[in-house]
Amino acid sequence: MFSNLSTIFTTKPTGQGTGLGLSLSLSYDIVKAHGGELKVETRPGEETTFIITL
């Protein structure tokens, strides 16, 4: 699904990003601010899982 997973937590101009928008970037910042970690595991064409650890 994602060709470069390292960029999914950043924001990009409309039409140039992954389509996840600002929500994922904000979620990442909030989790990091609380000393946590937000990870993504993906199997292209099957599933993507986001894991939040606080």
Tally of structural domains, the chain: 1
How confident is the prediction for the chain on average, in pLDDT?
75
In percent, the amount of the chain with pLDDT more than 70 equals 59
Distance CA 54, CA 32 (A): 9
- Which tens digit of pLDDT belongs to each residue from 12-23? 665 665 555 567
Q: For residue 21, what are the domain limits?
A: 5-53
Looking at the predicted structure, is the pLDDT value of residue 1 above 50?
no
Please give the backbone phi and psi of residue 3, each rounded to the nearest 5 degrees, phi first.
-80, -25
Look at residue 42 in the predicted model and tell me its pLDDT.
85
* SS3 label, residue 30: helix
Q: Tell me what the mean pLDDT of segment 43-49 comes to.
A: 86
